[in-house]
Structure 1
């Protein structure tokens, strides 16, 4: 007897150990495979049923004298089973009715098992009884009609309550009660089918299944949940054709999202069919074998009605907008850009995040949509998602906005918020009139491309990944250049076209990528062919292929992502987050800013509406230099700021060569005075110098007097005492002339002699002419000019198309320039400063 008892104990322990091991293994598999929704559901469902069966078998084989040991082992196994039940039927799918509330799956998740009751093993062990439905099975119920209807009501509420509003389309065939059986679900607007409608309903379902099978690639569709509540007459009169259609739905419906819940009709046996047999308040089902289920009581009708009304309201109002926070990873800056960039820009209709790649394929992106469609919002969301994944060592951003806005200003510090986005190297805003800055950025990127190509050649590397592997100590982040309204750069067939095409063609191999956006897409076919990643916003034109009409039907806040140059059939519909929420964006930027590495420099912000001030480094210190202090052979006069990436000043070298004089041309008094003042102050800051100020323009007297007060050594001459003599000087001498066009004929010879012979004697004229009157005879003695709103001195081929505008000037120096360049005169001594 003792040996028999020991053998029995050993057998029970073995069975419990095997069941516990199965539960642990499957639980671990379920947790590690959350991304594999179908596999997880199958593993958990099978393991749950297997563990329940093994637990029941262990209970039956246990004798009274080992019951206590069984209870100990069974309690541990029951805990694992509860863990499996929580994984597979969480929230509304498995909560008791007293704790029930609707819930939604995680993004990308799928419905799991549904609770219909409990399984009681003894007075201390009760576990939820779970059955499959959405994505897994049809249900066939047999038993007392009243109890079956209660079970169906509970199953429907759990199925709909554990999905997103609108994800389940309910159809009810109820010839006897005409929909009254499931009346609490009426607010959802289910499709009701009455007497005589079974055949057409089955035909429509079969056609739907055929259409789903023909969709390539398959896109997520709402679940079709079809409840068939047949009466005796219907069951007796079903035709052979209807039976065949019903069998087809049983065989193929689950794979296509069509699920039957049937009472009163016989169904053919199939692997996807879950049979539930009800006896009073207990039941058995296929997946749980012979285990007896204590059915849950039906949910209160008022709770169903309240839930359905709320769900219907949410469906009518549409899905809530995605959140920018949903795009953030669990940990910042963990991504490596060695082989490319990938980041989500929104979610799909089923809640799964949609990731967009940039790398070797696809290398660049084209975004299109009319004004107000959300291009800027999309760019913010994409850049925020990238910046959260890739740190400054992995990603560098260059941003240019030709769209009459300041959208990229948020990435740079301002007086209210000192934070900036650490990955941003350059941001250009309000540059609609400053196409030159776009050219400067393209030249900078072209130079970076040349540097990287040379480094790759030295290391015998063909791609950025190879270069980073061969030169791990180098700094080679991937570069993403975003140009909003890029057609502005292509208005003229000049250097910009070739630069863009070269970057698009050779840039990806060296880790340089373009994101170009526009309201109306324009550009050379060669450039557009190099932009295979297309993102079309609602009502976008010429972004997708002509036969791809997806952009015409998507609602606001959505986009079509296509990685096949817009070819129909490669679309993904994305719901975009609201990245315009400045509070939400600022919170993300501040987190990244506080995490920035040492030495991370704030971005260069070029604002086309901002007027730069003369830097203090170019102003004299206030000390009068002594005559014996050294002076460079070619002092440089600073005239304004160049429109380039490096924020450099425009300089005019004044050496002892013929023609080293400057003419400022135009009628804008403040700017002309500022150019002369910037030149004089910067020259005074470089060492001993003597200045003679000749003011022949009454409107400039105030500015001229202000300049004289700030210069260390200066003489003042007005219209009553004009001097253009050429004295000998040991230090450089500069004659600043205000309104030299007003100089009388009696001064022309002296002025010409000063212009012609002065530079050799270290005397230079920096003069302002309000008109070209009297200037022609001096052209050969003036080697540099700054044109404000007058025509340039020489029509130079290849120069910029000059449209005079405030705080912009053309600067040309014969000894340096082949064509004039646009500069921004500094604000120096105007009333604003």
Structure 2
């Protein structure tokens, strides 16, 4: 037992000895590894310190020299010496290659000596941009052979942060002035805009640029309004990013490369902070601007602004007079900055550039300057784009497309709104053919702004792109409603075609259906607020239709341009911003209110004959000020119109609706298109519609196919009966119809006589009946109906002033039927036998007296003149009739064709028009 315990103890002791040996080995290896790691760390730190300090300066530093002479650091010193020897062996051609690189990437004034370019006006269009801009030179070893140019990136590439040592402001100014003058002297005038801000000076920022500060090339900003300047920068960046991204490009530079056009000038913002502390929000805004500026063609030069920029930024630290350290060359090389340019020469050069810029911008532009050299070559598949004015010599475009589908134009009377519309229409029509652009023009105010775009008596030409011209429709709000209905129907047609071809936009539809006719439609409604001027069904329907077109029209190429003197009082849109939200294109004439965003007051300061063009829903950063040439004075627009008319003369004549002129029956398409028919229609008046159509009453054999004209207005009543009779006569050959003209009011005798003579001249039988023979004639016609005899000819009884003959008609002898009863027989039984009554009653009560109890069904159609709507309900199937009498307008209802009464315009008799 004891021996067994002894053996176990021996095994345990042996195991512990082995464990202690292994632990000792591990600890020894760890100590060796730790020592080796410490040595490697010391070597890396020495290498880093020597590289940062430089070999020569490190050898002269006691602390570094002691570390370098330590035997353990010999390998580090040897390695660095080898690298240095290799570098200098390879650097022999380094300065030459650097000089060649700068010359290649910084051509012309970007790197050349000032004597070669200072004072000369730049000529580059800006399609290609120098990548670097010289600021000085440096040398590696102090010898002239190792010297090379130092240049920094700027436009489209990088920002520049400049810091300075005390008493080096003149060196910093010279550096900035040198850079800016190189840029200004490279590009043609106007291609670069410079913004100067100095927190410590009011007006003395780079005074040699004073001549340029009188132009748009250089702007000196208020030192106390940094936030406003940064907001302006941010707005510009948002605007540029907006339309570059919409065009499918990531930056302005990429868009310029793709299109081959310099669409925007570069902008350089020079901010002198003088080392003063800025507000945290200002620092935040600077960083935010810097983050998106490069892609928008803007570069910042920050001088002693206490903030670190993210992204592409190079730095220059001015250490002494004309000496700096740059991020381009590293901390070991001292850069000798170029000497400041001679002040007098800079001032002279600035004056020359300013003069060239003003000469390039030219004097006041004319309407002809808006027009292209060749007409009708542009495609509207993607958008409509046309200049409407100029800003500093450059055209300012209006773009109408999917991104900016609808426009809102505002300006008080005399501000130039009509002139702007003519400039816009002319510029568009000159660029796009009628197959690409269709115009529907409506002017609610009392005037003839658009009347000249349709053929007239003085000028036979018309604007070929116009499909509809409506003027003087301030009292015909229904015409605006008709236009919106037409646009809705067209929208529905286009949507169906898009669905059939499985596309969503007009450009895609035109690509899939190249043989279809799909122009972009632009509907211009001037003084559109009249459409919503009352709280009635017209306003309700118009609001609904307008919202629908505004919302869905953008994808189908249907665009609205809504113009107004003042939109502040449009109650119909209170709480319904759908239309205005879709009007992302805003045009504000001087002193316009509530067109731009509430905080955007640009229109208040806009000078006369200018407009603020904004494609960003009126937000301030989207403002573009444009001088609009004279497009509306005598002979300016008509000259273009005649050229376009001669070019596209085969286009259809636009429909002209003039609310101030009474229509003529002989000029109505509905009348001239009539021909003999078995189903004659009596025309009662012109319809208020986009198409040139008329309201008619079919004189069929169905019960009630008679017509009643109601009201005391004799001229309109006579005109309506005249139109009805003449239109019916036109649908029959001579002998196939007979007319009896009952002249029951003496004042109607001239009109009745003239109508009878016209019918006789056309070969028709027309009997004139007076009050003395009215009973006899009515009795005879009713008797023939009672006999059941069939006449070959249709019969039309036309009664002028039925109520005037009621006493005669009501009189009867005992045992005999009265004339009124015979007239009721004609009304009730006549239509089925080809006999129709067209009568004029001067009041509804007298019509009811004529018809008797239950006889209202015998008059299936009526036209009301000076009759209030509440009196017409019984004649309109009991519905509430909203109607107040209006001059030269009437209310028409035919229970077989209309669901509710509609307004018509009575045709004028030629005799009335001649008076």
TM-score (norm 1): 0.65
> Does 1:825 find its partner at 2:900?
no
> Of residues 378, 384, 391 in structure 2, which corresponds to 1:341?
384
1:829–1:371 distance in 2 versus 1, CA, 3 Å: closer
Q: Could you say which residue in structure 1 is the equivalent of 2:794? A: 732
Task: Give 2:598's aligned residue.
Answer: 546
CA distance in 1, matches of 2:717, 2:728: 17
Distance 1:620 1:93, change over 3 A: closer
Please state whether the residue corresponding to 2:551 is helix, strand or coil.
helix
Distance across 1 between alignment mates of 2:460 and 2:321: 71
CA offsets per residue over residues 383-418 of structure 1, 9 Å max, x none? Answer: 222112211111111111112221112322222222
2:849 aligns to what SS in structure 1?
Answer: helix
The CA distance in 2 between the partners of 1:107 and 1:741, in whole Å, is: 85
Instruction: Give the distance between the partners of 1:612 and 1:649, measured in 2 at CA.
Output: 11
Q: Which residue does the alignment assign to 2:290?
A: none
Paired residue for 1:816? 897
Task: Please give the per-residue CA displacement for 1:713-772, whole angstroms capped at 9, x wherever unaligned.
Answer: 111121222232253432111111111110133414222222222222211111112233
**CA–CA separation in structure 1 for the residues paired with 2:336 and 2:831:** 100
| Alpha-carbon shift at residue 591 of structure 1 (Å) | 2.2
> Does the CA contact (< 8 Å) of 2:322 and 2:339 recur in 1?
no
| 2:629 alignment partner, SS class | coil
1:771 to 836, 843, 852: 843
1:382 matched to 2:460? The reply is no
Aligned pair partner of 1:434 in 476, 486, 495: 476
Q: Partners in 2 of 1:209 and 1:568 — Cα distance?
A: 14
- Aligned partner of 2:528 among 472, 483, 486: 486
Cα displacement (A) at 1:169: 12
> Helix, strand or coil: the match of 1:733?
strand
Distance 1:372 1:701 in 2: 50
Secondary structure of the residue aligned to 1:216 is: helix
**Structure 1 residue 604 displacement after superposition:** 1.0
SS in 2 for 1:711: helix
Q: Give the direction of change, closer, same or farther, for the CA distance of 1:454–1:168 in structure 2 (3 Å limit).
A: closer
Between 325-334 and 435-444, the greater mean CA deviation after superposition:
325-334
Cα offsets for 1:653-711 (capped at 9, x unmatched): 11112211111122222221111111111111111211111111111111111111111
- Hey, what's the Cα distance between the residues in 2 that align with 1:775 and 1:412? 43
The separation in 2 between residues aligned to 1:462 and 1:735, in whole angstroms, is 57
Question: Helix, strand or coil for the counterpart of 1:215?
Answer: helix
Query: Which is further off, 558-567 or 729-738?
Result: 558-567
The separation in 1 between residues aligned to 2:803 and 2:125, in whole angstroms, is 76
- What is the Cα deviation at residue 438 of structure 1? 0.9
Q: Partners in 2 of 1:684 and 1:762 — Cα distance?
A: 14
Q: How many residues align?
A: 654
Return the match for 1:691 from 736, 739, 751.
739
Q: How many Å apart are 1:168 and its aligned residue?
A: 11
For 1:109 and 1:674, locate their aligned partners in 2 and report how far apart those are by CA, in whole Å. Answer: 73
Match of 1:742 in 2: 804
Name the structure 2 match of 1:520. Answer: 567
SS at match of 1:582: coil
Shift of 1:546: 2.4
Matched residues in 2 for 1:528 and 1:631: separation? 51
Contact 2:221 2:229 in 1 (8 A): no
Alpha-carbon distance in 1 for matches of 2:265, 2:515: 50
Question: Using the alignment, how far apart are the partners of 2:441 and 2:489 within structure 1?
Answer: 17
How far has the Cα of 1:93 moved from its partner?
A: 4.6
Cα deviation 1:173-206 (Å, max 9, x = unaligned): xxxxxxxx99x99xx99xxxxxxxxxxxx99889
1:633-644 aligned within 5 A = 633-644=678-689
Give the Cα separation in 2 of the matches to 1:267 and 1:770: 102
Paired position in structure 2 for 1:592: 644
Bigger drift between 782-791 and 543-552 goes to 543-552
Answering whether residue 414 of structure 2 is matched by residue 372 of structure 1, we say yes
User: Are residues 1:612 and 2:690 paired?
Assistant: no
- Which sections of structure 2, spanning at least 5 residues, go unmatched? 1-103, 130-154, 161-180, 198-206, 238-263, 277-297, 304-319, 329-334, 785-790, 811-819
Say which SS state the counterpart of residue 752 (structure 1) adopts. Answer: helix
The structure-2 alpha-carbon separation of the partners of 1:615 and 1:515, relative to structure 1 and needing over 3 Å to count, comes to same
Partner of 2:16: none
* Counterpart for residue 548 of structure 2: 502
In structure 2, distance between residues paired with 1:759 and 1:203 = 85
Name 2:436's counterpart in structure 1. 394
Q: Structure 1 pair 769/257, CA: closer, same or farther in 2 (3 Å)?
A: farther
Superposed displacement of residue 583, structure 1: 2.2
CA distance in 1, matches of 2:610, 2:757: 62
Which residue pairs with 2:628 in the alignment? 576
SS at match of 1:367: strand
Question: Residue deviations 1:332-362, cap 9 Å, x none?
Answer: 22211112222222223x3322222222212
Question: Are the aligned partners of 2:411 and 2:592 in contact in 1 as well (CA < 8 Å)?
Answer: yes
Preserved CA contact (<8 Å) 1:670 1:830: no
Distance 1:203 1:426 in 2: 50
Instruction: Give the CA deviation at 1:49.
Output: 5.5
Instruction: Quote the offset at 1:773 in angstroms.
Output: 4.6
**RMSD over aligned Cα, in angstroms?**
5.7
Closer, same or farther: CA 777–214 of 1 in aligned 2, 3 Å? closer
Aligned-partner SS, 2:429:
helix
Provide the rounded CA distance (Å) in 2 between the counterparts of 1:619 and 1:319. Answer: 54
Counterparts in 2 of 1:214 and 1:732: CA distance versus 1, 3 Å: closer
1:794 aligns with 2:875: no
Correspondence for 2:754 among 700, 706, 712: 706
The residue number in structure 2 matching 1:555 is 607
The equivalent residue for 2:82 is none
Taking the TM superposition and a 5 Å limit, the aligned residue runs for 1:348-359 are 348=391, 350-359=392-401
The 1:697/1:43 distance shift into structure 2, 3 A limit, reads: farther
1:267 positional shift: 6.1
1:654 aligns with 2:708: no
What corresponds to 1:141 in structure 2? none
In 1, Cα distance between equivalents of 2:427 and 2:490: 25
Paired position in structure 1 for 2:488 = 446
Would you say the 8 A contact 1:381–1:577 is kept in 2? yes
Is the Cα contact below 8 Å between 1:735 and 1:763 reproduced in 2? yes
Gaps of 5+ in 1: 1-25, 27-38, 54-84, 96-104, 111-134, 138-154, 172-180, 190-201, 227-239, 243-253, 260-264, 286-294, 622-629
Deviation per residue, 1:132-172 (Å, 9 max, x gap)? xxx999xxxxxxxxxxxxxxxxx9xx99xx979xx99999x
CA distance in 1, matches of 2:491, 2:643: 31
Cα deviation for residue 825 of structure 1 reads 1.1
Partner of 1:682: 727
User: What TM-score do you get using the length of structure 2 for normalisation?
Assistant: 0.60
Who wins on radius of gyration, i.e. which is larger?
2
| Residue 807 (structure 1) aligned to one of 882, 888, 895 | 888
Per-residue CA deviations over 1:81-132 (Å, capped at 9, x if unaligned) read: xxxx9xx999x9599xxxxxxxxx999999xxxxxxxxxxxxxxxxxxxxxx
Aligned to 2:98: none
Counterpart Cα distance in 2 of 1:807 and 1:109 = 67
The partner residue of 1:785 within 846, 862, 869 is 862
Is residue 371 of structure 2 the alignment partner of residue 323 of structure 1? no
